[in-house]
Amino acid sequence: MAQKTVELTLGRTPEMGVGGKPVMGPLAPIDMPEPDMESENMLVNIGPQHPATHGVLRLVCELDGETVVKCTPHIGYLHSSFEKLGEYRTWNQIVPLTDRMDYLAPLIYNCAYIMSVEAMMGIEVTERCKLTRVIMMELDRIFGHLLWLGTFVMDLGAFTPFLYTFTERERIYRLHEAYTGARITTSATRVGGMMSDMPEGWAQGVRDFCHGLPRTLEECETLLDNHGIFLSRCQGIGVISGEDALNYGLTGANLRGSGVPYDVRKDQPYYDYETYDFEIPVGEYGDSYDRYLCRMEEMKQSLRILHQALDRLEKAKGPMDVEDPRITLPSKTDAMSDMESMIHHFKLVTEGLHAPVGESYFPVEASKGELGMYVVSDGGTKPVRWRVRPPSFVNLAALPSMLEGHLLSDLITINASIDIVLGEIDR
Amino acid sequence: MGLNDKAPPQIVGASPGLLGEGTPAFFTSKLDFLVNWARRNSLWPNPLGTACCGIEMMAAFASDYDLARFGMERMSFSPRQADVLVCAGRVTYKFAPVLRRIWDQMTQPKWCISMGACASTGGVFDVYSMVQGIDTIIPVDVYIPGCPPRPEALIYALMMVQEKIKQESLDQHAILRAEDPAAVAKPRADEEEIGDLSGPFGNSTEQNRVSGLERTDVISRPGDRLP
Amino acid sequence: MADERSGFDAVVEGPKPSYQGELSPVQVQSPGEVHESVEALRDLFGEAVLRHDVVANGQHIVFVPPERNLEILTWLRDDPEQQYDLLRDVTAVDYGGGQPLQVVYQLFSFFHKNALCVKCELPLDDLEIESVVSLWKAANWLEREVYDLFGITFKNHPDLRRILMPPDYAEGHPLRKDFPLRGRFSRAEQTRRALSQDLDHYYFDAEIERGGEPQELPPVAKTGEEAPE
């Protein structure tokens, strides 16, 4: 298999920033002996209701002055037991649950889950369906990264990019709504296809969005890349080495920011990702700024994939769903006029699909990192086990080690830079 | 023409009026109206966004919907300065004491919006870890249906809170806004009511929550004795 | 075939297995397909490879005895021919009906671009297995989650306590098949328990010590009594 991994290194020297722009480094420590006083560490509780914890994360920090000695994250404040609930739902009924897990990029979750089920059932979807899912996943990668950008920068004290990114997000919301009828809870996929074919003009809408986004990104970069406060709060903050990152199981931009070019789309390609021409941005220092750069570049690479997929979609005129009466529902006309179709419809809706005995772990590159959907079937219409390997759950576990020795204010930067969403951490 | 023929009455030695020369220098109003006007147009929401609804709430605060138009752009992340608690998203039993404490910390007058199906009823999550409606824990003024509700729905709910404030009267304040220190950190509903409120409903086959109106008096807030 | 688990009885009683037959996965791929790591494991550990399944999507599953998991996983990580340096996932599967619980390790070799799934079967009366945190730090939280939701104890885990459920959760381990969907207690009892959590459930002992004695607030004057007529 000819597999090409092109590394795009976002290099910068400590003196010069990206593209030769000057960088304001952290202030030099004042060379003064610490006063010798009786002091003891202080305990600070942050969250669960705190604007900078991005949900209901709770961090208990032990502070020596302003330096974090030890940080213990407490999670589970949003544990909604998706996995248990999935055992009471048929294969198709689980799809609405998936988009409530990562509400920042719901379509990736929809697609990842259904791809895992299809892999287990041995279903090969049509070309048009594949392309539609690629478009949806790349669109939602941008969707998730845009929210990350807005909140990350807002946590560092800049409000304007938040408004810019939300303007772009509203465009994606409208695209979601045009296709699925919902802004966030899309539930777009079904086993063997999509909920429906795309509406008239939707592909053109995506293309228009792709043409408009680079300008907004440029505006945000203009605001941020030369901003002294932004740079000094990001650079050298939350450094994690490549080996450590791999050992901690970090994935996504957090791992790539540390210089490891691991991307599921390149390393275990699905849906013909090996035939798309795109690059994997890789950081050098593994700090918050590299993670920021990686995500900014990833959005531009996603745009490249989107353009290619939209070009291919024009040629793929075939059906959207698999034409197998055991899997796909018959058309409404057939169900209303043909006896057999109606029986099929009734059986499929009331009983659900029968999956073969088996299991499948399907890794997908989500906006936060590697998302693995693990489904186990015992031959019934419901899964025995539906397990989600949530990228942010594993990424967040590395927070205490990235935080040690930093100031309390850096906690906000680091926590925002690893891009967590509590819906999938707690599930 | 005829109306303007008459010169306005001149008040000799009086200061220029509120709205220009010759207009009255004072106006009368009901104190109730004035207080309610001030309260309802500067609501400070405490955005308690836990899940999907929180993202729609952010969208409501952001550029396209812009809640600042209603005097609500100042989000108060500290409950102590907040007027209205917007509980957006799923609430688990692990989070329930936190929610109760946030509510207890808010100072009167305070209102609560339960945003979305999960906060209002538990939604699809009729499971072991989820609170089946935050009204078992804290009193709720406005429920927003939807999973998640659109930002317009949140704006509408905030306007409904404004409507509610409009009807309040200061002479009832001490009764309506009284808080019992013994009720701090306790669930709002008693055991029987919690059982009623959190029974399966909707699609479930063992439906025992009545969707009709006879239950409404139980569900509503006990302190709600507004005209 | 009527699905036995349909109907909402299962919600109260816990799900029943929908299929009572032999539970060996369908060999979707050709059975002769080989996986280098599995062959190497067979050569080196011999009878420790209890079973080798190839399931859909070309995924290879190796069953190993639970008491040798650390040894085999260490070799898989450190051997230069294998180098499974990324631990993707640790989870467990409960098939119900008294069948043993499976602990599932999803490994990926970043260097060789190879994926492998290692499983250990634990009988219900002996839910103990060696922790792999010493190999991959990623296993820390993942194993805590398995402990929380399945009740599998990981020996030599640095910090084994509940992660998703509250520390004083008394109803059991939710993802086991005998656990009812709505929990064992009534909603009123669950609410009561949730709101009666005390300080110990928010902080560790060491943290409470650091924070000092909780202060008793002075009693609040009863308000609302001096309401005007």
Decide if C193 is inside a domain.
Answer: no
Q: Rounded CA gap, A300 and A330, in Å? A: 39
Burial A313-322 (b: 16+ CB within 10 A, else e): beeeeeebbb
CB contact under 8 A, B195 and C193: no
A359 touches chain C (CB under 8 A): yes
C179 touches chain A (CB under 8 A): yes
Query: Span A25-49, mean pLDDT?
Result: 70
Decide if C157 is inside a domain.
Answer: yes
Domain A7-23+41-420 has CATH 3.40.50.410: no
Q: Of all residues in chain B, what percent carry a pLDDT higher than 70?
A: 78
Name which of A87, A120, A262 is nearest C110 (Cβ-Cβ).
Answer: A262
Which pTM was predicted? 0.84
In angstroms, how far apart are the furthest CA atoms of chain A?
Answer: 89
Q: Answer whether residue C8 shows pLDDT above 50.
A: no
Number of domains in chain C: 1
- Which residues in B lie closer than 8 A to residue C162 (C-beta atoms)? none
Of the given ranges (A336-345, B154-163, C33-42), which has the lowest mean pLDDT? C33-42
Q: Answer whether residue C153 shows pLDDT above 70.
A: yes
CB contact under 8 A, B129 and A51: no
Mean model confidence pLDDT for chain B = 77
Looking at residue C92, which CATH number applies to its domain? Answer: 3.30.460.80
Decide if C107 is inside a domain.
Answer: yes
Decide if C158 is inside a domain.
Answer: yes
Subunits in contact with chain A (3 or more CB pairs closer than 8 Å): B, C
Say what the pLDDT of residue A210 is.
92
pLDDT band at B201; cut points 50, 70, 90: low
In angstroms, how far apart are the furthest CA atoms of chain B?
Answer: 80
Residue C135 lies in domain: 23-164
Looking from the CA of B115 toward its CB, the CA atoms found within 13 Å total 34
Q: Rounded CA gap, B223 and A300, in Å? A: 54
Say what the pLDDT of residue C92 is.
92
Q: In sequence order, what are the beta bridge partners of A74?
A: A58
Query: Of the candidates B48, B50, B197, which has an alpha carbon nearest to the alpha carbon of residue B135?
Result: B197
Of the given ranges (A109-113, A137-141, C160-164), which has the lowest mean pLDDT? C160-164
CB contact under 8 A, C89 and A87: no
| C-alpha A356: how far from chain center | 30
* Domains of chain B, start order: 43-198 (3.40.50.12280)
Check: CB of residue C26 under 8 Å from CB of residue C53.
no
Give me the residues of C, 91-130, that contact A with CB < 8 A. Answer: 91, 93-96, 104, 106, 108, 110, 113, 115, 117
CB atoms within 10 A of CB C177: 19
Q: Answer whether residue B225 shows pLDDT above 70.
A: no
Say what the pLDDT of residue A124 is.
87
Query: Of the candidates A172, A176, A112, which has an alpha carbon nearest to the alpha carbon of residue A142?
Result: A172
